[in-house]
Chains A and B, each alone.
Chain A
Amino acid sequence: MVGPSSSHTAGACRIGLLARGLVGGTPERARIELHGSFARTGEGHGTDKAISGGLMGFRPDDDRIRDALNIAEREGLAYTFEKTTISDDAHPNTVRITLERGDRSHEMIGESLGAGRIHITEVDGFPVEVHGNHYTIVLVAEDVKGSVAAIAQLLADGGLNIATLRLSRKERGGDAFMVIEIDERPGESVRDAIRALSWVRWTHRLDKVSG
């Protein structure tokens, strides 16, 4: 990895890499809100460079991270960094990232746990648990019966092995958020097959960023 801090640099870069997956590529606009130690010491640690680098697809050992803010300007990534308090009991290294690309806009909250390990806790307001050590498919679907079975079948047809599957929803009958961690990299055909389901609102593939 590129130094100087596995929490503030490598972990931050990985959170950026995962967030990038939500909009399917380098975002046009990124609002990055830093909490706790991220806010207090992020500047000296290159947290801003690392997150922007991740948003552009740089991995933690890519030495372009050092120059990421200049590269972002050339690549058309407009970013803002703000200091915030996400909640009193939030992890000391927490960030909220809001991204726009084309007509897509998504928000992710992630924590950098140390040693480059990360934990995504929220996507678009849905509670999730993503650690980035698998390939991940996220999708939002109407709360229809049999949705899990249908998705599992599509993945099996695509030769993909499910490692974990978590379902959450904000209310009964409301939209369901599905996070599926899989061992193999899912191809575009699987993504397109999921998108073709009438009750799926949107789906994206998140990269494996650790391990």
Chain B
Amino acid sequence: MYTSLQSAITDAEAAGTTLFRVALDAEARDQGRPVAEIRDALRRALRVMREATDRGLVGDLYSASGLVGGDAAKLATSTAGPMAGSIFTGVLARALAVQEVNAAMGVIVAAPTAGGAGVLPSVLLGIAAAKGLGDEAIVDALATAGLIGAVVAERASLSGAEGGCQAETGAAAGMAAGAAVEMLGGSPSQAGHAVALAQQGTLGLVCDPLGGLVELPCVFRNATGAAIALAAIEMALAGITFAIPADEVIDVMGEIGRDMDVRYRETAGGGLAQSPTGRRLARERLVQIRRS
């Protein structure tokens, strides 16, 4: 398993290949299974991601507390837009959709976590649908995303309770950005810059869910996380480089997480959770859950 994105990029470029190939080979070695089996597992993950996206877009799911639900369909069927292009709207709607399924205790793929599960499928499925890319290209991209996520897990954290939302939707944005850049024909090095560009945009992001539930703002932070990923993808594909290497940006994310006050690490002790309205909603809605 790689603990440095740069060493994976170096290996891929030395072999004249892609990050997804390097990732699949490393995973096959680690698990002692052929690459074909790893790809089968990723195909199953893709199927669940697509089912969750489709399910969420129906618009009839609400969380146990009733705090979130129905917004993915609102965006997907809105006639007010798209203001920033149909790919952008499609990605945002999918990100909301997966999170609405998640909040309703539906089946999703943790990517890397449940709280950040909307970003990766929304970016990959949204772009693939718009560009007419087939499932095998998405499966390859999932392998790249897995490699990036494993590096973040090793160097920093993938837990809101340890590192805040930068470790969940932030890590997911980095995974999605790097994977999508490669899916769209970018080089391993461009994918690395996309990871750095996405992760830098989420540094310091706190985890402050109302009542401690993965609902509000989590559902919307997946949409804004996906938006940051799209921005990073646009910049990296244009050849823009980020001077701080992705590994170092990830290390910084870990440091900020360790320094982050416990109120901002999924405890509902600060941030939006402790805003006057946040407290009132959490109080009212939690009562509703207990009664149900």
Give chain A's interface residues, CB within 8 Å of chain B.
Answer: 1-10, 36-37, 40-41, 43-46, 61, 63, 65-66, 92-93, 113-117, 183, 211
Contact = CB atoms under 8 A, between A and B. Distances in A.
Instruction: Give the bracket for the number of chain B residues in contact with chain A.
Output: 35 or more
A10 B32 contact: no
Contacts of B110: 1, 6, 10, 115-116
B70 interface: no
Contact of B289 (A5, A6, A43): A43
A40 B160 contact: no
B64 A5 contact: no
B106 interface: yes
User: Which of B101, B158, B265 counts the most chain A CB atoms within 10 A?
Assistant: B158
B212 A92 contact: no
B170 interface: no
The prevalent SS among residues of B at the interface is loop
Given A41-B211, A44-B65, A115-B158, A3 B113 contact: no
B212 A37 contact: yes
A37 B167 CA distance: 16
B213 A44 contact: yes
Contacts of B290: 43
Given A92-B162, A114-B168, 20 more contacts: A1-B110, A2-B108, A3-B117, A4-B102, A5-B113, A6-B114, A10-B110, A37-B265, A41-B209, A41-B211, A41-B212, A41-B213, A41-B266, A43-B286, A44-B286, A93-B159, A113-B159, A115-B113, A115-B149, A115-B158
Contacts of B104: 3-4
B265 A6 contact: no
Contacts of B281: none
Nearest to A92: B161
B26 to A, nearest CB: 14
A114 B161 contact: yes
B212 A44 contact: yes
B206 to A, nearest CB: 14
A211 B31 contact: yes
Nearest to A113: B159
A173 to B, nearest CB: 38
Contact of A1 (B32, B63, B108, B213): B108
B30 to A, nearest CB: 9
A65 B114 contact: no
Interface string B97-108: 000011111111
B70 to A, nearest CB: 16
B153 A117 contact: yes
B90 interface: no
B162 A45 contact: no
B182 interface: no
B192 interface: no
B268 interface: yes
B268 A115 contact: no
B107 A7 contact: no
B101 A3 contact: yes
A7 B160 contact: yes
A45 B103 CA distance: 9
B107 A61 contact: yes
